[in-house]
Chains A and B, each alone.
Chain A
């Protein structure tokens, strides 16, 4: 499955519409990194509103996408985590050090990225 990666301003946006196979996720990870390099995007938004579950493999892959994006200088925000998914993820007890941002929806996610990038610029100028 080809998952579209959209670009708006300095941000890349990925919105999952279907259940993803392990292979889809791994392929996406490579495509995202290529896109970041090509577009010099400052932020990455991953919208998982449509996902009814996130198991340990998906969680680890999302976390690794954000870690790899960070190495390229890009911040990641995950948006649209369903309440039941959040609850289940915590109960699963994953030993993941989440270093990504999260927001309730796409709009809040983009705002969060903007603020986070702005505040870093200010620190850099001080």
Chain B
């Protein structure tokens, strides 16, 4: 298992995080479509962290047990999300499209976990398995 983190403070870091994730996904053996799903998911989460969380970190881990896959953790120390259920419903948005980003990300990945609360920041963990 390898682990690497990248800070996301501005919109250019979002591009770096995408490239970083795509490289790892490609080396792990994910196909073009899954690379696209993973990269898009990273982009959505990193943008949430930059726009809503005032910046954060994206950590990417490779999982090489019996099951191989990729894990991405996006953490920010922003104001947090008051109503996670509502945020995951889709249409919900405070600054242009947070809801779509979160609910869409969940659909693109195999696993999706979120912890957030007012004043606690937001941590989203997503996984994609190699079949």
Query: Residue A30 at the B interface, CB < 8 A?
Result: no
Segment of A33-41, A86-94, A101-109, A116-124 engaged in the interface with chain B? A86-94
12 A-B pairs within 8 Å (CB atoms) are namely A19-B19, A52-B22, A52-B35, A53-B39, A83-B33, A92-B100, A92-B104, A93-B100, A93-B104, A94-B104, A95-B90, A95-B100
Query: Nearest-CB distance from B4 to chain A (Å)?
Result: 20
Instruction: Flag if A88 contacts B97 (CB, 8 Å).
Output: no
Query: Residue B40 at the A interface, CB < 8 A?
Result: yes
Closest A residue to B108 by CB, please name it.
A91
Segment of A3-11, A42-50, A54-62, A65-73 engaged in the interface with chain B? A54-62
Please report which residues of chain B, range 13-32, place their CB below 8 angstroms from some CB of chain A when the two chains form the complex.
Answer: 14-15, 18-19, 22, 32
Instruction: Flag if A85 contacts B103 (CB, 8 Å).
Output: no
CB contacts (< 8 Å) of B18 on chain A: these are 19, 53
The 8 A CB mask of A1-35 against B (1 = contact, 0 = none) is: 00000000000000000010111000000000000
Please report which residues of chain B, range 99-114, place their CB below 8 angstroms from some CB of chain A when the two chains form the complex.
Answer: 100-101, 103-104, 107-108
What CA separation (Å) do A23 and B50 show in the bound complex?
13
Binding site for A on B (CB under 8 A): 11-12, 14-15, 18-19, 22, 32-33, 35-37, 39-40, 43-44, 47, 90-91, 96-97, 100-101, 103-104, 107-108
Interface size class, chain A: 20 to 34
What CA separation (Å) do A19 and B107 show in the bound complex?
24
Per DSSP, chain A at the interface is helix
What CA separation (Å) do A82 and B39 show in the bound complex?
14
Q: A84-B33, A88-B33, A88-B37 are in contact. Are A21 and B15 (CB under 8 A)?
A: yes
Query: Nearest-CB distance from A24 to chain B (Å)?
Result: 9
Instruction: Flag if A22 contacts B43 (CB, 8 Å).
Output: no
Instruction: Flag if B91 contacts A95 (CB, 8 Å).
Output: yes
What CA separation (Å) do A85 and B40 show in the bound complex?
9
CB contacts (< 8 Å) of B101 on chain A: these are 55-56
Instruction: Flag if A55 contacts B107 (CB, 8 Å).
Output: no
Query: Nearest-CB distance from A25 to chain B (Å)?
Result: 10
Q: Which of A53, A83, A84, A91 contacts B104 (CB 8 A)?
A: A91
What CA separation (Å) do A83 and B11 show in the bound complex?
26
Q: A21-B12, A56-B44, A60-B96 are in contact. Are A84 and B108 (CB under 8 A)?
A: no
Instruction: Flag if A60 contacts B36 (CB, 8 Å).
Output: no
What CA separation (Å) do A55 and B22 show in the bound complex?
14
